Structure 1
Amino acid sequence: MMFSSAKGHKVVDISSAETVGTVSGFLLEPSTHSIVALRVKKTKTGEVIRWRDITAFGSEAVTVPRAGVVTDIDAELEALGDKARELVKKRVLTSTGDELGTVKDVDFDPATGALTAFLLDSAPDVAADRLIGVGSYAVVVRAEPHGS
């Protein structure tokens, strides 16, 4: 699933069948190449849902066991939620300093939250397992060995 199509998904509490928010962003852990939490808007209880608290991420909605899993952001997630760590519209550099392009979108596995690929504006997709880090200047990925 792409970030662009996942944003805007309703978050539904399966115990009450009520909408408790809308997906507005993703908090990532570069070292594990995965989504650790969703940022949500239009909620009474908080602004994030940890990935482990999601029941399912479907094609139309994200389901959660109860509204209470939507919480305020804590110190651990605060560092991951910094705008400087967003991927889309950020340049991609290799570990050898070569620019590959700009991230147009990100593909992820909705069952696990694992990032699978970065779709670039002017180059082939980059496998997400090459991710080294994300900062205010760029997304840095491992350079491919020559001949790859």
Structure 2
Amino acid sequence: MRYSAAVGRQVVGSDAADTVGQVAGFVVDPAGRRVVAVQVKTSGPGTIVPWASIGTFGDDAVIVRGPDAVGEPDAAIAALSGKDHTLVGKRVLTVAGNELGTVADVDFDPGSGAITALLGECGEVAGVRLVGVGSYAVVVDTH
């Protein structure tokens, strides 16, 4: 599933089948090469759903147990949040310092949250090559 297709998707609580918000973005752990939380736009308190609280990331909606699944980020998620840690729009650099282009979209596994590919001008870079994310660039391994 691509970020661009998932942003805006409804987040629905399974307990009452009520919409609790919309997917606004993603929090990625580059060391684990996976999405660790979903940023949610909601009228209630909280802005984050940890990946472990997601029941299903489906084609039509993201299913969580209820509105209480949306909360404030813990310290680990907060450290990975913010503009410095986003992937889309960043330059892609190899560990050798060669520029491969810019990340236009990200493909991830909706079951596990694993980053499967970075998509952009350079074509597709396998998610397993992701090394780090900083304020300036996304760094990928050359192998």
Relative to the length of structure 1, the TM-score reads 0.94
Match status 1:37 vs 2:32? no
Structure with larger Rg: 1
Q: Write the letter of the residue equivalent to 2:28.
A: L
Q: Aligned equivalents of 2:123 and 2:12: distance in 1?
A: 36
SS of structure 2 residue aligned to 1:15: coil
Q: Is the 8 A contact 2:20 2:66 kept in 1?
A: no
For structure 2, the residue ranges without an aligned partner over 5 or more in a row are none
- Residue in 1 that maps onto 2:14: 14
SS of structure 2 residue aligned to 1:76: helix
How many residues matched? Answer: 143
1:79-110, Cα deviation, whole Å (9 max, x unpaired):
11121110001000000010000001000010
SS of structure 1 residue aligned to 2:76: helix
Runs of 4 or more, structure 1, over 6 Å off, are none
Relative to the length of structure 2, the TM-score reads 0.97
Match status 1:125 vs 2:124? yes
Q: Aligned equivalents of 2:92 and 2:76: distance in 1?
A: 25
Match status 1:86 vs 2:90? no
RMSD: 0.8
Aligned sequence identity (%): 48
Q: Aligned equivalents of 1:68 and 1:42: distance in 2?
A: 12
1:12-64, Cα deviation, whole Å (9 max, x unpaired):
00101100010000000011100000000124131000000001000010000
